[in-house]
Amino acid sequence: MMREILGVAPDASARRRWFHDDYFDLFVWQVASGEVTSFQLCYGIDSSERALVWQQQRGFFHDGIRGSSVTGEVIGSGVERSGQANPDPVVARFDASADALPGEVRAAVAARIREYVEKQPPVEARRERFRRADWQKRPGPTSKPERKPGAPRSS
């Protein structure tokens, strides 16, 4: 189940939110009314990380895939376009992980994912690898731990 990571860097134009589990990172931008105006659904969080990105003004793109040389799960690749119901494994995994998301976020992102999966022809990749912004990166092993208020500074 995805849980929200609090304390995300502020954005003047929209509220940024970050939800995470062992397979997904979901970055969401919401305006004051609660409407989702953009999201990045990162999945396969390892050496083959991919990201489905949707922006209200620009539509979809997919980072981390290139043509038919892609191995592993890619959103939309497991769906038959013949009209038969064949669940996409990444979408099914998202649906199972999304239960803890706020309702408006879950509904908006799930609707866009389904729109992407049903889209013909598939959307081209923008980049071979997904690149995270600084605020989207987890602290690494070399980062300094936060100093607790009142604790002495180390040199």
The model's confidence at residue 64, banded by pLDDT at 50, 70 and 90, is confident
Rounded to two decimals, the pTM is: 0.72
pLDDT of residue 127: 55
pLDDT of residue 81: 52
Average pLDDT, integer, range 70-95? 70
For residue 147, being part of any structural domain is answered with no
For residue 151, being part of any structural domain is answered with no
For residue 90, being part of any structural domain is answered with yes
Q: Where in the sequence is the domain holding 54, given as residue range(s)?
A: 3-133
For residue 139, being part of any structural domain is answered with no
Least confident of 34-43, 69-78, 111-120: 69-78
In 3D, which of 92, 68, 69, 97 has the Cα closest to residue 79? 92
For residue 109, being part of any structural domain is answered with yes
When divided into structural domains, the chain yields a total of 1
Average pLDDT, the chain: 77
For residue 70, being part of any structural domain is answered with yes
For residue 138, being part of any structural domain is answered with no
Q: 10-61, pLDDT tens digit by residue?
A: 888 899 999 999 899 999 999 999 999 999 999 986 657 788 999 999 888 8
Percent of the chain with pLDDT over 90: 37
Radius of gyration of the chain (CA): 17
For residue 108, being part of any structural domain is answered with yes
pLDDT of residue 143: 37
Greater model confidence, 90 or 119: 90
Across the beta sheet with 50-55, the strand order is: 3-5, 15-20, 24-30, 36-43, 50-55, 59-63
Average pLDDT, integer, range 3-11? 88
